Amino acid sequence: MRSPKSRPMRLRRPVLIATVIVTAAGSLLFTPPSATADRRPPVREGSASAKGAAGAPASAARNALTAPVTDLSASASAGGYPREQVLTPDPENPADKSIKLGLTPYHGIAPKLNALQRLGDRVSVEVAGRSAGGHRLYLVTVTAPESARETRAQERMRELIENAPRTAAKDSAVKKTYKTPVFFNSNIHGNEWEGTDAGLKLIERLATAHDAKTTDLLAHNRLYFNITANPDGRIAGTRANANGFDLNRDLITASQPEARAMRQIEIDKQPAVMLDLHGYVNGTLIEPATPPHGENYEYDLFLKNTYANALGMEAAVNGLGYTPAKDGVEPAQIPFRDQQEGWDDWPPIFTPQYAAFHGTVAAHTVEIPLTVNNSAYDTLPVDELRRRSAINVDVAGAAMRATLDFAQSHRTSLIADQIELFRRGATGAPQVPVSAETVPGVPGIGPEDVYTTDFPRAYVIPAGPAQRSATAAARLVDHLLAHDVRVTRATRDVRLAGRSYAKGSYVVDLHQPKRGLANVMLADGRDISAKVSTMYDISGWSLGRLWGATVERVRSGSLSAVALRAVAAATRVGYVAPRGDLRLRLDTPQEIAALNSLLRQGVSVRRTADGNALVPSSARPKADALARAYDVVFDATKTTGGTLLHPTRVAAAVTAGELFALREMNFDVVPVSTAILNAGFDWSSADVLFVSSGLDHTALTASARTALDAFLGIHGLVGRGATGAAVNTAAGLLSVRPVEGNGDANGVVRVVNSGGPVTAGAPDHSFVYAPLWFTDLGPGVRVEQSYATGDPLVSGHWRALEDGTGGPTAAGGQASVVSGPHAVLFGTEPLFRDHPKGEFPQVGRALLAVSRTW
């Protein structure tokens, strides 16, 4: 279930599609599926014919996408369906947490998939990638057999729907023969297991049933099953993957390989319908969700289809006959109809909400009913756990089967709505606000459900002096491209909406099929504090404000006279001045990572007063290698002096996202916690302590507290949030009074940087989650950054508490980051879930500034 808040690339070919696939008569060449299509023999896993093309991003270092993701569409060139392969079994693991529930352990999945492929000619298996822990991610396709020619025709029609939607809407072959893609995503939270088993049962039924209904279903649909989106968590019984990430919060940031695999499935398969199977809410919860609704959706199309499918799933689940008295199962619920607020679909970070931006017009979270995880897993008898899990498998299966019925009976309208979604984006058509007239048949639509946005004409990521960071800009462009957002580049100086931009500037034209995705990533977002009293998860996330690149909004105008060229990757910016000493700006995570690499190699790097790094000319060969690896710039400098730096080892009591971000910046990190310190931690190898969670000074033993205080008496502390501030107070380092804002608040805020070594040149926006500020500043305390005066919230949800305190206006003008000789404290959250890349260097600089080497 959604928990309460807690602390490779393929560019579509838009200009080639129609001419390649449309005949002179305007129709597609296509041969209907045939049951006698040639079948290819199964291949061994890992052989050339079993592999798809690698879709690695243009710059793995600058995007931190180090694990290649299979481009599943590329494997179409291997032939038609089925695409069978013999999977190598995994070693048996008796510790797999699925076993206790009577469910399929991860090591049992590969043998099952091998057996399912042997049942006939309908089941295909591909490896969509690997998890953070190295486990295979299996994508199963179930459909009627296709020859290679038939498969190519299906792929051409899929491309036509996105890239030439007007043509697709008129094409008779699309209406008659295009197979509707339906996607089932299971087990994204590792300890919400049963969707996997329901999927395996459904695949077996579809593989063996020969009734007319099943035959017709598979002739007109392709069904995709991501068997377990989180095998690490499935095995360990944890919500998160092996890196500690909640994958259902990572779709926009895409820091994790599992999220990137799901992203690629969305891009390559373009599902019209998808189900994301979770647990546990009793009765079964079936989206559509409550307000606020994502303002970048074509929500009229989305609500029409999600509500209709939800009704079918509700009937199927309730039709199983489970009752509260006999089985402990409550009737199913649909939040849009049955709840006022609190289960929203506002942020794009959840899998179904993200899918909507790739053309999925019916996307649902389904929460199956009976709890078997967390304390229930440890305390309930095995028989009771297995009873519950069996019911959950049954409920998940009912939701899946109902979705197939919906996809089959609404096949034509679903594809028509997907075409319309892409048409609106490509032509810049206005959104259609939901109402009883625009979405007939959905009861209870009111003004509280109307969320639309003002799409700009374009965004510009400038080149030249107008760009804060060419490295950050390149990273942002590559990230947009990896999400299938189209980006162009100016081939000469251009003028847009009265402003001039240098040659090489990137332009994101919002007249593109996936304009909603482009806008939801780049726009500021909205302050929705007054709209609803509570939000389910984060409410602001702007890459345009938080990723460190200058991004400008072009509200209106024409691009027809602008010289633009589509790009498949950002132009690399890495450079080393040919002579003299070098300066490395520390404005991006990549630059911090390059600095840490130099320090580890023994280079004598010095820090300037404004927080940048001076590199001696003798290190030019090393700088050359790092410029290529991290796409960073070492420019010439005549600056001298500065403070000598040394490698910094960080003892870190932090969240999983922060730990991941620290390692992304190439810091040597050793995790610590209250328990680790109480067990006896060797502080001799640490240079600085970073604390944001998991370390309670009051819960330390006397010896652990003495050791910690002795360390902090010599070395430094970087603290974030209330936990970091509490350690600072206990150690008596900075004389400040931390003030906690509303703990439920989050979003993008305006900030003012002082120009000190921690925040010099930092972006003028930051991210907060349970925001904090500092007052009563004592001697020696420097304000590194403040919240902007007035109301600093740009987008998100931040209300005052009932007594009037803790709101954004109370934070306005107050110190958000403070420093002293041995400590830096953050009231913002600059590493949140590995997301706000432009804020990372503030933490990197702070760690270097207060380590024992300074």
Residues with a known catalytic role: 367
Number of Cβ atoms within 10 Å of the Cβ of 370:
25
| Residues comprising the chain, all counted | 854
Transcribe 90-137 into DSSP letters. PPP-TT-TTGGGT---HHHHHHHHHHHHTT-SSEEEEEEEE-TTS-EE
Residue in the block written with tokens 């810049």? 428
CA geometry: angle 829, 262, 456, nearest 5 deg: 65
Which contiguous run of DSSP H or E holds residue 476? Answer: helix 470-482
Backbone angles phi, psi at 620, to 5 degrees: -55, -45
Is residue 607 within 8 A of residue 645, CB to CB? The reply is yes
Instruction: Look up residue 367 and give its two tokens.
Output: 């929460």
Check residue 699 and report its DSSP letter. G
Closest CA to 489 of 461, 514, 515, 518: 461
Closest CA to 395 of 319, 339, 450: 319
Is residue 322 within 8 A of residue 329, CB to CB? The reply is yes
Is residue 251 within 8 A of residue 350, CB to CB? The reply is yes
Closest CA to 402 of 348, 370, 362: 362
Task: List, in sequence order, every residue forming a beta bridge with 553; answer none if it has no partner.
Answer: 459
Three-state SS annotation for 750-805: EEEECCCCCCCCCCCEEEEECCEEEECCCCCCEEEEEECCCCCEEEEECCCCCCCC
Number of Cβ atoms within 10 Å of the Cβ of 401:
17
Distance in angstroms (rounded) separating the CA atoms of residues 147 and 172: 21
Closest CA to 249 of 845, 834, 676, 728: 834
Report how far apart the first and last C-alpha atoms of the chain are (Å, whole number).
46
Task: List, in sequence order, every residue forming a beta bridge with 274; answer none if it has no partner.
Answer: 183, 363
Closest CA to 641 of 677, 604, 678, 666: 604
Q: Which residues contact 289 (CB under 8 A, 6 or more apart)?
A: 335, 336, 343, 344, 345, 365
Type of residue found at 799: R
Is residue 466 within 8 A of residue 502, CB to CB? The reply is yes
Evaluate the CA torsion angle 580, 581, 582, 583 in order and state its sign.
Answer: negative
Question: E strands within 397-537?
Answer: 458-461, 488-490, 494-496, 499-501, 506-509
Check residue 15 and report its DSSP letter. T
- The distance between the two most distant Cα atoms of the chain, rounded to a whole number of Å, is 84
Type of residue found at 147: S
Task: List, in sequence order, every residue forming a beta bridge with 140; answer none if it has no partner.
Answer: 125, 225
Three-state DSSP at 611 gives: coil
Backbone angles phi, psi at 395, to 5 degrees: -65, -45
Closest CA to 456 of 552, 527, 349: 552
Closest CA to 414 of 351, 449, 363: 363
Number of Cβ atoms within 10 Å of the Cβ of 702:
7
Check residue 499 and report its DSSP letter. E
Closest CA to 320 of 389, 225, 392: 392
